[in-house]
């Protein structure tokens, strides 16, 4: 896969719509320079807080530069369109607000909202039924040798549980984001460290092997598998140049204007395309 995904998970930031549009302007400024031969990306996925989805969708659709390059997604979804669920956001609501993707199974949802494998599975099924593309997070809690049985067992169990009973119909697709929990800064007092490129490549290969066994070799070869976990402007080139990772899931760094600018500056030095 020569094109790569650049996914920005804004989490619970920023605190106002005005600040969200400022971040969007930083992205626009970067992608407006696409005529330069060194520009490495073609489309970006932004996952803002759902409160900003509709407004951002309106702004993006009214701007040719943004509309060509940016697709919106949500950070969570409930698994029914009509049910008495206080605070729930349905798949249909997200689609009507402009979302095309939805992040499912992030470790912070499991930590703070006690999200279970059953809930993750139901959300994935609901997303597919409603033509939303799930970005499914998996990752081990503790740092161990990636060749160890415990790491493989952990990842395979997550994939087996999260994707239980799921059949892909024509046109259905999803993305897997390998995000080791120990590498995420929010789980480590802001001091997360990314995994080494060699280990990332091994883990993505392991996940692709599982997809091939569970679905098919053809689906596995086309399945985008991303890396997430303390990705910043300082290290994004490393992951962009990987021949195995199909892109990156960027968290906290994508919510800071200067760090966001740095990310795009670094990406211009690669020869990879982001889609």
Where does residue 43 rank: exposed (0-12), middle (13-18), buried (19+ CB within 10 A)? middle
Q: Strand ranges (DSSP E) for the chain?
A: 3-9, 44-47, 70-74, 101-104, 133-138, 175-178, 225-228, 247-250, 273-274
DSSP 73-101: EES---S-SSS--TT---HHHHHHHT--E
Alpha carbon 270 to chain centroid distance? 20
**DSSP states of 6-58 as a string?**
EEEE-TT--SSHHHHHHHHHHHHHHHTTTTSTT--BS-EEEE--GGGHHHHHH
Our answer to whether residue 106 is catalytic in this structure is yes
Torsion of CA 151, 175, 262, 192, to 10 degrees: -20
Q: Which of 108, 140, 179, 195 is catalytic?
A: 179
Single out the catalytic residue among 29, 106, 140, 217: 106
- Cis, bond preceding 14 (omega within 30 deg of 0): yes
Q: How many CA atoms within 13 Å lie on the side-chain side of 271?
A: 1
Neighbours of 246 (CB within 10 A): 23
Q: How many CB atoms lie within 10 A of CB 147?
A: 10
Q: Mind telling me the catalytic residues?
A: 106, 179
């Amino acid at each position: 896969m020569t094109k790569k995904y650049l996914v920005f998970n804004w989490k619970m930031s920023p605190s106002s719509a005005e600040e969200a549009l400022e971040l969007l302007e930083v992205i626009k400024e970067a992608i407006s320079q696409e005529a330069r031969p060194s520009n490495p990306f073609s489309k970006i996925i932004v996952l803002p807080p759902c409160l900003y989805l509709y407004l951002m969708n309106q702004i993006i659709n009214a701007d040719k530069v943004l509309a060509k390059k940016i697709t919106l997604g949500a950070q969570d979804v409930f698994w029914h369109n009509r049910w008495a669920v206080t605070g729930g956001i349905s798949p249909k609501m997200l689609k009507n607000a402009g979302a095309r993707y939805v992040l499912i199974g992030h470790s912070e949802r499991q930590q703070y909202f006690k999200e279970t494998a059953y809930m993750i599975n139901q959300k994935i099924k609901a997303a597919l039924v409603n033509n939303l593309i799930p970005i499914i997070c998996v990752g081990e809690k503790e740092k161990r040798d990636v060749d160890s049985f415990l790491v493989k067992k952990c990842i395979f169990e997550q994939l087996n549980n999260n994707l239980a009973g799921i059949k892909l119909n024509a046109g259905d697709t999803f993305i897997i984001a390998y995000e080791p929990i120990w590498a995420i800064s929010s789980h480590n007092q802001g001091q997360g460290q990314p995994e080494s490129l060699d280990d990332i490549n091994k883990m993505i290969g392991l996940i692709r092997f599982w997809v091939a066994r569970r679905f098919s070799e053809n689906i596995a070869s086309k399945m985008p598998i991303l890396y997430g976990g303390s990705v910043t402007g300082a290290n994004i080139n490393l992951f962009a140049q990987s021949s195995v990772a199909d892109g990156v899931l960027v968290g906290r760094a994508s919510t800071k204007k200067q760090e966001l600018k740095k990310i795009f500056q670094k990406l211009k030095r690669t020869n990879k395309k982001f889609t």
